[in-house]
Structure 1
């Protein structure tokens, strides 16, 4: 009699954004895993424009085996400024405050849709199913069952929710933990966004006697209760501009429940928000005839990312403000650690809940810290950090140093800790 191979472990992933697809891509390379990915939309697609990745995220991308496709579509600041993450300047006159340098990475960014396209194109046929919007989850003994709006359902050994800030599965996890539910909360900050043809912007800067260096290198212009960032995308052909404005009139700002999070805005409305800013900033905004306005929401830090055989990754677990360019990177770190654990054949003799608990205990403290410091970064940029305010020398020094812990994170040591916790 021949010994049959152990049955594959079934992994269900809900949500086809960057974290979900990256996880599926890694997991489907392993013969002991059977992977299915469910996406609510009729096809893969990302909302949003540029997304940036710190050195830690670029490491996770390489570790997930998607470094080569990423490099095909990614942007970098051109030499000789390739290591600069951002230069920091005062909004009122563009005077230089300092720079944050990420050696070997700089400002690594990509258009969200381009990155997702290239990832999705690598997924083998039969892994992804579309038009599958999850409405609820049930667990019994050793299986998780996810139910979709089309009346179908799927059963698996481990269910991973990568379904974003408005996750339909997060409630199941928090209820299972006996914790209060968490909804997206409005930060009080809105962002005007637009893309500018870089050649056009150069001509505008020349005509106004402004330094073209400001077009070549990622810039962050800082002011009271507002800041503007720029970085090149699409191989430098376009400049991605995001202009943030914070309303601090209330401690608990509310975004109207019937209002969309993203809408078209008038240029006039945007210019009025930056009326007292300097030439460099105004020239940028005057080059965006049709901005969009985004209401920035995040999540409070959750008390747990897993319940039984169901785990949360990415924005479903720790949606954060974009002020450190770290949100997508945290989803990729989640995917990397989970992929390393699930791809180990020892998973077949382990309890899925134990594996998810190891993921939770390693990832949650870090992701919560990145959430917290992303909010703090916004305060710092808008002169609301109580220790720094608008003290220029201190601001320059703080900005140069404050991202090191985020970027230099040792993911291998995370993996060793998780393996030790599992007795592997």
Structure 2
């Protein structure tokens, strides 16, 4: 019989990664899990989010595959394995396709997915209006102090509080490194959602192939690209139109300016002037787009200090050009869920577990950050070795994402277990 007190796990941040991790961990009798969210209720900013095959496997492994599949979209047959078709911006000409067998383009509306997860959290796990203001560590314990004056003591504090994390700099300062703030990437995006029937009618009236509605598309042009994929079971087409200003090597976003604002259709159309009919008609179907300034983080020197760990965008916020940002947060959650969910975990080996998390997850997440930026350069015809060579572009896009999608996360968990000298789970239950 195990008489050890339950390990106290605090998770700060109620986005997809934080809630998915809390859902898995709260099933374990040897853990006492609390989730803290700064807002008055769960809520996601944004629209559609795409998950690669690696992220879909992590979702299944976290035990949330069923609610995901209930709301997820897949490209219809016979294109069900297509991630994106790649097309020329000027005339919509076909350049090639990236194929993810068995998964294709798997996507959901962010808010729908978070709602599905949050509704499954047991009562009492989530606490709202809890904004982290200060972190302290003493001995084997972490303490988070909230802006309302309350606090929480735990054996492990997990920061899942996004790109503007209030906890990240505590970790960096503990590692002897400088504080980090999100950096503006020089790229912005116009976003909109279109009723698929409306878009279909618009394309039909202009003699544009309706296939472009049915299958996820990416239109590639100099210093811009536009993507489309379905959400809400194909009823809505999610559109993101990226434009990059490369006039300076160190782009700055005005201090205090909102990252997201409303924009006019005219502003958006002017940004993509000279693009072909498929892109033009698509954007004309978005009367009131929103404008997003895209920020990311530099690669961090570590994700762990003492009994505090960073996951998701708090650790490795990235550009969205590989559809991999949310997926990396889910990989973090899967890894920690498998390790913390093992009854062999204790306050004595928690530091070694966190060291394994940092050693095994950080290199991959940093690579995703780098290659997401490189993908944007490729899409916008700025890759130094490919440029606007359409044959080279097509060949590169055909296999570029294989390493990302085919990663064996269970092998990482097995390696972490080996580092800790843990026996197999089967033999200890």
Q: Which band: TM-score by shorter chain?
A: over 0.9
8 Å CA contact retained: 1:222, 1:381: yes
1:101 aligns with 2:115: no
- Map 1:335-354 to 2 at 5 A: 335-348=333-346, 350-354=348-352
1:314 aligned residue? 312
Once superposed, which parts of structure 1, at least 4 consecutive aligned residues long, lie more than 6 Å away? Answer: none
1:237 aligns with 2:244: no
1:403 aligned residue? 401
8 Å CA contact retained: 1:92, 1:277: yes
- Map 1:25-424 to 2 at 5 A: 25-348=23-346, 350-424=348-422
Give deviations 1:319-362, integer Å, cap 9, x for gaps.
00000000000000000000111011111263322111110100
2:198 & 2:126 partners in 1: Cα distance?
A: 41
User: What is the CA distance between 1:96 and its match in structure 2?
Assistant: 0.6
| CA RMSD, 1 decimal | 0.8
Over 3 Å counting, the alpha-carbon distance change for 1:73 and 1:4 in structure 2 is closer
Give deviations 1:159-184, integer Å, cap 9, x for gaps.
00000000000000000000111110
Structure 2, unpaired ranges of 5+: 423-429
User: What is the CA distance between 1:4 and its match in structure 2?
Assistant: 6.5
1:204 & 1:117 partners in 2: Cα distance?
A: 32
Structure 1 SS opposite 2:218: strand
2:34 & 2:248 partners in 1: Cα distance?
A: 44
User: What is the CA distance between 1:282 and its match in structure 2?
Assistant: 0.1
TM-score, normalised on structure 2?
A: 0.98
Structure 2 SS opposite 1:347: coil
8 Å CA contact retained: 2:10, 2:34: yes
User: What is the CA distance between 1:43 and its match in structure 2?
Assistant: 0.4
8 Å CA contact retained: 1:307, 1:353: no
2:327 & 2:180 partners in 1: Cα distance?
A: 22
TM-score, normalised on structure 1?
A: 0.99
Structure 1, unpaired ranges of 5+: none
1:44 & 1:199 partners in 2: Cα distance?
A: 31
1:244 & 1:292 partners in 2: Cα distance?
A: 12
1:185 & 1:423 partners in 2: Cα distance?
A: 40
User: What is the CA distance between 1:73 and its match in structure 2?
Assistant: 1.0
8 Å CA contact retained: 1:144, 1:156: yes
2:176 & 2:418 partners in 1: Cα distance?
A: 28
Over 3 Å counting, the alpha-carbon distance change for 1:178 and 1:349 in structure 2 is closer
Structure 2 SS opposite 1:324: coil
